[in-house]
């Protein structure tokens, strides 16, 4: 993961280190290397503004310091790059879903989590992964299939529920998703479930009618947590999606899927740096166990270790 980006940062440090072998790094050198870094990041799918932010950050750090021969320049530059990214990633923060569920459970049961996102980002698969984690934490989980739109959506979630070993409730195709969500919650209340995971149909953030429908689901279900699933491969567009969902229904936390499928890593990095919402998990594969807790350290490790 982040293979290409990792290499770009390594080469950047190496090139500077080579130059410093025979001269002190001056402002012109810094500009040259930083412009080159910028171009390479953009070519690896880092969004323009995000690449600018990264490079400016690194440039500031480099200009403030005299880099001379004799020092271990490569590791010195590595450290500057790593610290710059750490600062940017840390400004977002992570979201501990298990802590959130446990805290909410001390006041109210069941905890209701609504999953939303555009088509095909991995909502349904991610629900299965999250259900698996919750179950392993000793929690009783009910999955509710409020996707009554896409053919096969009901059966898909039901299959996941069976495989993970949690309960499932669905509804008729074409039925009102808000009504299904409501029925699911009542069922969970009556049967002592701890957590209700509500799957919704994929919808474009610019589709006014479908966003109104989602707003209705949220109004009826009153989820404790509105969770937006974003696909790492969509890069800058993911930030547009976030804006759309935020405006229509509000977003509490984000799960970024398919980080494993982004060969360059630039699209994923764009979302991580640009998203501005606490991130709960990263999806890193198709198996139920391929969901890792997000924190900036996890990404820094992938980028620099
Ligand atoms: N490589 C990879 N594939 C993933 C990941 N998460 C989901 N997928 C795949 O993405 C595809 C779509 O997943 P779904 O869970 O059906 O997506 P969805 O958002 O529910 O789709 P709709 O309900 O049609 O909008 C499936 O083939 C999943 O296996 C991930 O983290 N990594
Ligand atoms: Mg789905």
Ligand 1 contact, 159 CB (< 6 A): no
Phi-psi region of 235 (alpha: psi -120 to 50; beta: other; left: phi over 0): left
Ligand 1 contact, 286 CB (< 6 A): yes
Mapped onto helix, strand or coil, the DSSP state of residue 230 is: strand
Q: Are residues 132 and 247 in the same domain?
A: yes
61: domain CATH number is 1.20.120.140
Q: Which of 90, 114, 140 is the last residue in one of the domains?
A: 90
Q: Are residues 127 and 271 in the same domain?
A: yes
pLDDT of amino acid 70? 66
Retrieve residue 279's tokens. Answer: 């991130």
Q: Are residues 159 and 278 in the same domain?
A: yes
> How many of the other CB atoms lie within 10 Å of CB of 64?
8
Ligand 1 contact, 119 CB (< 6 A): yes
Ligand 1 contact, 291 CB (< 6 A): no
Q: Which range marks the domain in which residue 16 is found? A: 3-90
Helix axes 73-90, 48-63, angle to 10 degrees: 130
Sequence-ordered alpha helix ranges (H) in 91-197: 97-105, 123-136, 153-164, 177-190
Q: Are residues 130 and 261 in the same domain?
A: yes
Whether 20 has a pLDDT exceeding 90, the answer reads no
Q: Are residues 141 and 278 in the same domain?
A: yes
Ligand 1 contact, 160 CB (< 6 A): no
Helix axes 266-274, 48-63, angle to 10 degrees: 80
Q: Are residues 130 and 80 in the same domain?
A: no
- Report, as an integer, the average pLDDT of 106-128: 98
Q: Are residues 77 and 152 in the same domain?
A: no
pLDDT, one tens digit per residue, over 105-116 is: 999 999 999 999
Q: How far is the CA of 121 from the centre of ligand 2 (A)?
A: 8
- Rg of the chain, C-alpha, whole Å: 22
pLDDT of amino acid 193? 98
Which among 125, 144, 147, 289 is the best mutation to test ligand 1's pocket, defined by most ligand atoms within 8 Å of the CB? 125
pLDDT, one tens digit per residue, over 231-263 is: 999 999 999 999 999 999 999 999 999 999 998
**Count of domains forming the chain:** 2
- Nearest residue (by CA) to ligand 1, atom 24, is 120
pLDDT, one tens digit per residue, over 258-304 is: 999 998 999 999 999 999 899 999 999 999 999 999 999 999 999 98
Q: Are residues 74 and 46 in the same domain?
A: yes
Task: Say which residue the tokens 């080469």 belong to.
Answer: 11
Tell me how far apart the alpha carbons of residues 75 and 83 are, in angstroms, rounded to a whole number. Answer: 12
Ligand 1 contact, 261 CB (< 6 A): yes
CB 181 within 8 A of CB 205: no
Q: Which of 73, 90, 107 is the last residue in one of the domains?
A: 90
Ligand 1 contact, 120 CB (< 6 A): yes
Q: Are residues 279 and 154 in the same domain?
A: yes
Q: How far is the CA of 175 from the centre of ligand 1 (A)?
A: 23
pLDDT, one tens digit per residue, over 55-70 is: 999 999 888 777 766 6
156: domain CATH number is 3.40.50.300
> How many of the other CB atoms lie within 10 Å of CB of 117?
27
Ligand 1 contact, 127 CB (< 6 A): no
Q: Are residues 80 and 122 in the same domain?
A: no
The CA-based angle 31-305-96, given to 5 degrees, is: 105
Question: Full-prediction pTM beyond 0.85?
Answer: yes
Ligand 1 contact, 278 CB (< 6 A): no
Ligand 1 contact, 289 CB (< 6 A): no
Ligand nearest to the CA of 145: 2
pLDDT, one tens digit per residue, over 177-186 is: 999 999 999 9
CB 286 within 8 A of CB 125: yes
Q: Are residues 142 and 222 in the same domain?
A: yes
Q: Are residues 39 and 114 in the same domain?
A: no
Q: How far is the CA of 149 from the centre of ligand 2 (A)?
A: 10
Q: Which residues contact 53 (CB under 8 A, 6 or more apart)?
A: 88, 273
pLDDT band at 19 (very low <50, low <70, confident <90, very high): confident
Strand partners, 227: 115, 253
Q: How far is the CA of 277 from the centre of ligand 2 (A)?
A: 22
Q: Which atom of ligand 1 is nearest to the CA of 202?
A: 25
Q: Which of 34, 62, 90 is the last residue in one of the domains?
A: 90
- Report, as an integer, the average pLDDT of 213-229: 98
Ligand nearest to the CA of 292: 1
Ligand 1 contact, 257 CB (< 6 A): yes
pLDDT of amino acid 93? 83
């Amino acid at each position: 993961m982040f293979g290409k980006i990792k290499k770009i940062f390594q080469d950047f440090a190496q090139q500077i280190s080579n130059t410093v072998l025979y001269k002190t790094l001056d402002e012109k050198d810094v500009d040259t290397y930083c412009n080159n870094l910028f171009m390479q990041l953009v070519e690896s799918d880092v969004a323009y503004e995000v690449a600018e932010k990264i490079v400016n950050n690194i440039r500031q750090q480099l200009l403030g310091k005299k880099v001379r021969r004799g020092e271990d320049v490569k590791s010195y530059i590595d450290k500057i790059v790593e610290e710059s990214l750490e600062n940017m990633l840390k400004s977002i923060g992570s979201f501990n879903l298990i802590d959130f569920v446990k805290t909410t459970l001390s006041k109210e049961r069941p905890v209701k989590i609504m999953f939303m996102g555009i088509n095909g980002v991995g909502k349904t698969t991610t629900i299965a992964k999250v259900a698996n984690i919750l179950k392993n934490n000793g929690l009783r989980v009910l999955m509710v299939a409020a996707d009554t739109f896409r053919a096969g959506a009901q059966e898909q979630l039901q299959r996941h529920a069976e495989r993970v070993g949690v309960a499932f409730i669905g509804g008729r195709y074409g039925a009102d998703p808000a009504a299904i969500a409501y029925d699911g919650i009542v069922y969970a209340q009556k049967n002592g479930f701890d957590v209700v995971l509500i799957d919704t149909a994929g919808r474009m953030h610019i589709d006014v009618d479908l966003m109104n429908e989602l707003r209705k689901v949220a109004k009826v279900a009153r989820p404790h947590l509105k969770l937006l699933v974003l696909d790492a491969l969509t890069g800058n567009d993911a930030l547009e999606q976030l804006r759309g969902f935020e405006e229509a229904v509000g977003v509490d936390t984000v799960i970024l899927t398919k980080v494993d499928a982004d060969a360059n890593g630039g699209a994923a990095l764009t979302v991580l740096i640009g998203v501005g919402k606490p991130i709960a998990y990263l999806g890193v594969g198709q198996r139920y166990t391929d969901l890792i807790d997000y924190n900036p350290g996890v990404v820094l490790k992938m980028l620099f270790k």
